[in-house]
């Protein structure tokens, strides 16, 4: 009887040991095979609706077109991601320092920016708009003569304003965030601001008719928006592959309609 009990206890202990080893081996294998989800950090400037902005009704959650695009791509690739919000001017330096893995912020891949970071293919093309008080009489770039014009610091619109200023005498003022530009117009310190049209439409809609906007005509296709990565990052090719698939199957178009048709 004692031998039988001893054999039974030994068998139970042996089975338990095998189970424990089997579980541990499975978890270790998952990590070593790279199946464990990696968390990527996305840099953005959440003042650029409908691309990215803070929804106070959802506990200051950052939402928008770029956020949904990031969710779509990272999910397909098996990554999770978290958002790091900052001023637009800090995005590229933060990316270069490795504090974020990619930037999605309606960023245009200019030649100067390409010297410091790598870009995905363009995922959206927009145009620029002159925003001013209703009845200001400012409708064209020529109407900006002698005016104070606001732009977001480090934005493509800042460069556009500099080009216009070569032929139209005007004063350019920069601010870190789009809401700051709108406040300066409403306060009368700026006569107008140059803002991307899809973003400007949201502010026009919420201005109760106090603001108006006029699109700046262009003979060239705008450079558009792309995802930025550190130089040499393998993520660019991974993101590009999925981005191209989603653009071809119409899923990116669905996001465009979701976020831009409501403006």
Amino acid 36: pLDDT: 60
What is the DSSP secondary structure assignment for residue 194, as one 8-state letter? E
**181: CB partners within 8 A, 6+ apart:** 131, 150, 151, 152, 175, 190, 193, 195
With H, G, I as helix, E, B as strand and everything else as coil, classify residue 121: coil
The two tokens of residue 46 are: 């959440």
What is the CB neighbour count within 10 angstroms for residue 239?
A: 27
Amino acid 127: pLDDT: 87
What is the CB neighbour count within 10 angstroms for residue 114?
A: 13
Amino acid 262: pLDDT: 59
What is d(CA 66, CA 207) in angstroms, rounded to the nearest whole number?
A: 24
As beta bridge partners, residue 42 has 83, 102
For the chain, 263 residues long, give each residue's pLDDT as a single digit of tens: 444 444 444 444 444 443 444 333 333 333 434 456 699 999 999 999 999 999 988 888 999 999 999 999 999 999 999 999 999 999 999 999 999 999 999 999 999 999 999 999 999 988 899 999 999 999 999 999 999 999 999 888 998 999 999 999 999 999 999 999 999 999 999 999 999 988 998 899 999 999 999 999 865 545 689 999 999 999 999 999 999 999 999 999 999 989 987 55
The two tokens of residue 198 are: 């899809």
Give Cα 170 distance to the centre of its chain: 30
Amino acid 223: pLDDT: 66
Amino acid 198: pLDDT: 86
Phi, psi of 97 (to 5 degrees): -80, -5
Amino acid 21: pLDDT: 41
What is d(CA 127, CA 217) in angstroms, rounded to the nearest whole number?
A: 8
CA dist 96 to 73, 87, 226, 230, 231, Å? 22, 15, 17, 6, 8
Nearest to 154 by CA among 52, 58, 86: 86
Phi, psi of 103 (to 5 degrees): -125, 125
Amino acid 35: pLDDT: 52
Q: Is 174 exposed, middle or buried (0-12, 13-18, 19+ CB in 10 A)?
A: middle
Place of tokens 């958002």: 83
């Amino acid at each position: 009887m004692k031998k039988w009990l001893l054999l039974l206890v030994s068998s139970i202990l042996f089975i338990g040991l095998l189970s424990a080893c089997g579980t541990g081996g499975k978890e270790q294998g998952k990590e070593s095979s790279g199946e464990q989800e990696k968390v990527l950090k996305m840099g953005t400037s959440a003042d650029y609706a409908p691309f990215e902005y803070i929804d106070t009704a959802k506990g200051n959650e950052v939402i928008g077109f770029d956020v949904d695009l990031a969710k779509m791509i990272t999910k397909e690739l098996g990554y999770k991601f978290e958002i790091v919000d900052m001023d637009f001017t800090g995005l590229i330096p933060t990316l270069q320092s490795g504090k974020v893995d990619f930037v999605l912020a309606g960023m245009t891949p200019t030649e100067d920016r390409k010297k410091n970071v790598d870009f995905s293919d363009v995922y959206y093309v927009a145009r620029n708009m002159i925003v001013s008080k209703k009845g200001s009489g400012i409708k064209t770039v020529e109407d900006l003569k002698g005016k104070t014009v606001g732009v977001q610091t480090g934005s493509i619109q800042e460069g556009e304003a500099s080009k216009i200023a070569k032929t139209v005498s005007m004063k350019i003022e920069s601010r870190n965030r789009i809401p700051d530009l709108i406040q300066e117009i409403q306060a009368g310190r700026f006569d107008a601001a140059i803002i991307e049209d899809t973003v400007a439409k949201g502010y026009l809609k919420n201005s109760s008719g106090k603001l108006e906007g006029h699109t700046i005509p262009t003979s060239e296709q705008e450079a558009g928006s792309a995802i930025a990565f550190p130089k040499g990052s393998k993520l660019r090719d991974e993101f590009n592959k999925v981005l191209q698939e989603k653009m071809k199957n119409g899923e990116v178009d669905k996001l465009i309609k979701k976020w831009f048709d409501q403006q």
